[in-house]
Structure 1
Amino acid sequence: MWRTGKMVALINRRQSRHKGRQNPNTQKIYNNLQRPRKGTVSYHNKTYEVDDDIYVYGSMSFTAEQPWYIPKDNLTLMEEIHTGRFARIYKASHKTGKTSSEMAAKVLKKTPDEENSLLMMAKINFAATQVGEHRNVLGFRGAILNNDALGPVLVLEYCENGQMDKWLRDHRDNVNVDTLERIQSFGLGIARGMEYLAIKGICHGAC
């Protein structure tokens, strides 16, 4: 759900439906997260229906060149590391002056057209203007906007240790104290990142 009002209404309906089925011995669990603020913005990256937010962020323009603009010649795609319904993720090399750094580049899966380019621009502009920086949230590093062949390219922080789900699968048959401590650390980092996004009024995922 993109709009906070819709999400609250959905939660209320579900609570009403299940209220009669609650076990009287079941205690409620509380947390310290605040209710979403009025005017909450959200970005649902798993749906591709036309929505106001896509047009707001996808059509956003700036009066001056932004510091996060990356010239297309400064980024080299190296290897594909993941593919999804909408885009492919590549390990990339970003050159700035005489130095290079590893990045993750999100590239349109299909030939760029008005619809998928608008969605990618919405992702780029949302990340650039709304998300901000936090150690437990994947960092926005910039975007390429002048590549006609690939369309807009979203450039993100590269996680050298790979995807967490793969790490968990690789270690599920060898669980020891060190593994459990790392999983606990992962969980704490995820909670801190989600708290940061919640405080900013951002809902990411199946909301």
Structure 2
Amino acid sequence: MGKLSIKLHDKCKNRKESSSWPLTKCFQHGSGRDDAIGITQEWGIDFSNLFIGHKFSQGAHSQIYHGIYKKEHAAVKFVKVRYNDQKGIPKSLLEAQFLREVTHLPRLHHQNVVKFIGAHKDTDFYCILTEYQQKGSLRVYLNNLESKPISLKRVIDFALDIARGMEYIHAQGIIHRDLKPENVLVDGEIRLKIADFGIACEASKCDSLRGTYRWMAPEMIKGKRYGRKVDVYSFGLILWELVSGTVPFEGLSPIQVAVAVADRNSRPIIPSHCPHVLSGLIKQCWELKPEKRPEFCQIVRVLEQLDQGCSFLPPKKLKQHPLSLRKCEDALKLFVEMRGKKLSPTDHTLCTILNACSSLAVLLQGRQVQSVVIKMGSERNVFVASALIDMYSKGGDIDEAQCVLDQTSKKNNVLWTSMIMGYAQCGGSSEAVELFDCLLTKQEFIPDHNICFTAVLTACNHAGFLDKGVEYFNKMTTNYGLSPDIDQHACLIFMQETEI
């Protein structure tokens, strides 16, 4: 097959990006031989039927245009070899990524994987055609929301699309290795499709090539042996982003993220408004040890059950947390200014500031706020005490949380539930279950709200206490007349899936 060398005419260079033109009319054809005959023969592009429109996206080494190919919309990705070579990006790397994509993508046929159309390899450029997704990437979609509320149903739908696509990809023996919102596309029906297989590998033949630090599993960062569970870790970060509305580790450079994850085992703080079942799923997906992360087939089953639950529950919005990280910092600054003016905070203000400290995981400032609480005598307020317990629990200081509980004279369901949840969050699931049972036996605690059972079921979920979890779940209705909602159903489902 003849070699196709491409040189843009000056008239094409001067065209506006919004215009369209036949690609062949902008190219001069030379002679020679293509070094990827197999690719061009099997997946060759008929350039006489390809029209190029505006550039709508750009990758690290590529530009992506909206095109028309054989009267169908297409995404046209160009990788300019010489241009990248001048920037210090070796041709061998670009060629390897191109060959990976055209090796893996054509054999993938799934509604949640972008459809491959064709490819061409030339001396000066590489070209890949895939189906065009008019909504762009998931990153673009999330940015366009501009902090608008996103429904729980939509979060679950998005998570299901990604999980189903990844379940299929793993079943084909392929590891994506760069799963992130930029590499997930949104079609006209708001359905997600996984794209960009430039660094994907066969599970049995993975090399040292790696993805993006911000979504990268710790074992991959450390250069250790890894498998398909690196994609599960990345999925956990995407699910966190869907819930939180912010980019993971915002404000940190890629290298800082790598150090935080690999050396300190750091993870983003899960917003308190996140449903417990999604919080539990996120935590399991980004577990340090890959063998503790679920398979995508398990994730799909859990999400499908949640999706069914959403169909008969009232619509629930996952609004941006009222105390986003920046607002938390602003709240602390205002509190310091308030104290400087010798103004006395109300109990409500103290709760808000303690929640801010909890979200920022700043126990030092939290202890300073606690000193104000004690000075004002506000520790007697159960909601302030509950906020203190929650802050210390999320900060990993369960002993200090227990001290707050012990020093509160009048304990009620709010405090007991906070303490049970605190144990569950700090790895003390056995202590949480023991405390719950002890309180029931002594009749010091009547679980009269669903959140009480969410706390103990979360503990059972983390510890794998399936029998106990089923017992508590059944007691909700039989003993206390409560109707389980999506959080309790999901905890039970996830426990059962973990047993598989």
2:72 to 88, 97, 101: 101
**CA shift for structure 1 position 89:** 1.0
**CA shift for structure 1 position 197:** 0.9
| Residue type at the aligned position of 1:167 | Y
Say whether the 8 Å CA contact 1:60–1:125 is kept in structure 2: no
Task: Please give the residue correspondences for 1:25-64 in structure 2 after superposition, counting only pairs within 5 Å.
Answer: 62=38
Instruction: Pick closer, same or farther for the CA change 1:88–1:115 going to 2, 3 Å.
Output: same
Instruction: Pick closer, same or farther for the CA change 1:200–1:75 going to 2, 3 Å.
Output: same
Greater mean deviation of Cα atoms: 107-116 or 187-196? 107-116
- Residues 1:125 and 2:102 aligned together: yes
TM-score (norm 2): 0.25
Instruction: Pick closer, same or farther for the CA change 1:116–1:108 going to 2, 3 Å.
Output: farther
Q: How far apart, in 2, do the equivalents of 1:78 and 1:108 lie?
A: 16
Q: Which has the higher contact order (CA 8 A, sep 6+)?
A: 1
Name the Cα RMSD after superposition: 2.8
- Residues 1:76 and 2:47 aligned together: no
Unaligned runs of 5+ in 1: 1-58
- Structure with bigger strand share is 1
| Residue type at the aligned position of 1:189 | D
**CA shift for structure 1 position 137:** 0.8
Task: Please give the residue correspondences for 1:167-186 in structure 2 after superposition, counting only pairs within 5 Å.
Answer: 167-175=141-149, 179-186=151-158
What is the identity percentage for the equivalent residue pairs of Structure 1 and Structure 2? 26
TM-score (norm 1): 0.57
**Count of aligned residue pairs for this structure pair:** 139
Say whether the 8 Å CA contact 2:75–2:130 is kept in structure 1: yes
Partner of 2:163 in structure 1? Answer: 191
Q: How far apart, in 1, do the equivalents of 2:81 and 2:38 lie?
A: 27
| Residue type at the aligned position of 2:167 | E
Say whether the 8 Å CA contact 1:94–1:103 is kept in structure 2: yes
Q: How far apart, in 1, do the equivalents of 2:93 and 2:109 lie?
A: 26
Partner of 1:111 in structure 2? Answer: 82
Task: Please give the residue correspondences for 1:129-168 in structure 2 after superposition, counting only pairs within 5 Å.
Answer: 131-145=107-121, 151-168=125-142
Q: How far apart, in 2, do the equivalents of 1:78 and 1:141 lie?
A: 17
**CA shift for structure 1 position 174:** 2.1
Partner of 2:67 in structure 1? Answer: 92
Q: How far apart, in 1, do the equivalents of 2:146 and 2:40 lie?
A: 50
Q: How far apart, in 2, do the equivalents of 1:107 and 1:162 lie?
A: 17
| Residue type at the aligned position of 1:127 | H
Say whether the 8 Å CA contact 2:67–2:76 is kept in structure 1: yes
Q: How far apart, in 2, do the equivalents of 1:108 and 1:63 lie?
A: 16
Unaligned runs of 5+ in 2: 1-34, 86-90, 179-210, 212-229, 231-500
Q: How far apart, in 2, do the equivalents of 1:63 and 1:70 lie?
A: 10
**CA shift for structure 1 position 160:** 1.3
Q: How far apart, in 1, do the equivalents of 2:72 and 2:135 lie?
A: 15
- Structure with bigger helix share is 2
Task: Give the 3-state SS of the residue equivalent to 1:81 in structure 2.
Answer: strand
**CA shift for structure 1 position 63:** 9.9
Say whether the 8 Å CA contact 1:144–1:153 is kept in structure 2: yes
Task: Give the 3-state SS of the residue equivalent to 1:155 in structure 2.
Answer: strand
Q: How far apart, in 2, do the equivalents of 1:162 and 1:65 lie?
A: 30
